[in-house]
Amino acid sequence: MERYIFKSALSSGFEGAISIYNDTRTGQNVAIKSFYVDRSPLRNTLPDAAVPIFGETRWPTELQFMLLHANQLHTERKEPINNGLVNVKDYFIVDDGGSKQWQLVTKFYQYGTLHNAGPKIARLLDLAPNLTTYHLDDIFRSSFEGVLQTLTRIHAQGFCHDDIKPANIFISDDPYHWLLGDFGNQNVEAAKSVARLPEK
């Protein structure tokens, strides 16, 4: 953790707490999710080659999914590859007196999530009475379509997010480009069910 300097707590969920840190190598802020030991189910088996490195045999489902789809891990690219997912930077284990916690480092998105943006959009409608929901649809339809395309792609690969909600859709540096994050409920079996749904 010497590389990362704590700045402030950001949010917490069922499986872990997220805080903002400064990456001393790049000077940029990042978000680090610390998985709760007692709540985050270590459902996935760690690859054999990684067991001696981490001293663990299992890890959180979200970590495995994000690394399988990692787009920038251990590189110094300035811009992430656009694959519709939150950008992964790093991962490691913190041993806090015998209690080991997995950590997932991602890019920090200054605009937050759709959950944060909702009240701002509602306020915008109040301030601009001529701006209707039809205008918002015209502005953000392509953003929603991008999220649906990402879901379609991961379903085709055999994965299902299984927890789509505004708090798990992140707004990138381009406010019209939205990203999926928080794959803690990622479910392979659910993806098989989605794939079998009849077309309407």
Domain 4-107 falls in which CATH fold?
Answer: Phosphorylase Kinase; domain 1 (3.30.200)
What integer pLDDT is reported at residue 21 of this predicted model? 97
What integer pLDDT is reported at residue 154 of this predicted model? 86
Within 8 A by CB and 6+ apart from 111, the residues are 117, 170, 171, 172, 173, 175
- DSSP-derived secondary structure letter, 167: G
What integer pLDDT is reported at residue 125 of this predicted model? 65
Nearest-angstrom CA–CA distance, 158 and 175 = 29
What integer pLDDT is reported at residue 78 of this predicted model? 47
What integer pLDDT is reported at residue 198 of this predicted model? 46
- DSSP-derived secondary structure letter, 138: H
Nearest-angstrom CA–CA distance, 183 and 185 = 5
- SS3 sequence of 77-108: CCCCCCCCECCEEEEEEEEECCEEEEEEEEEC
What integer pLDDT is reported at residue 189 of this predicted model? 54
What is the chain's length? Answer: 200
What integer pLDDT is reported at residue 76 of this predicted model? 45
Nearest-angstrom CA–CA distance, 120 and 175 = 13
Tell me the domain boundaries of the chain: 4-107, 114-196
Q: pTM of the prediction?
A: 0.80
What integer pLDDT is reported at residue 33 of this predicted model? 94
What integer pLDDT is reported at residue 39 of this predicted model? 62
What integer pLDDT is reported at residue 131 of this predicted model? 77
Q: Which residue has the tokens 């937050």?
A: 112
What integer pLDDT is reported at residue 38 of this predicted model? 67
Mean pLDDT by 10 residues, the chain (200 residues): 92 88 96 81 73 79 77 45 80 80 92 83 70 83 92 86 91 89 74 46
Contact status, residue 115 vs residue 165, Cβ threshold 8 Å: yes
Helix and strand numbers, DSSP H then E, in the chain: 5, 9
Contact status, residue 180 vs residue 86, Cβ threshold 8 Å: yes
Q: What is the token pair recorded at 67?
A: 């690394």
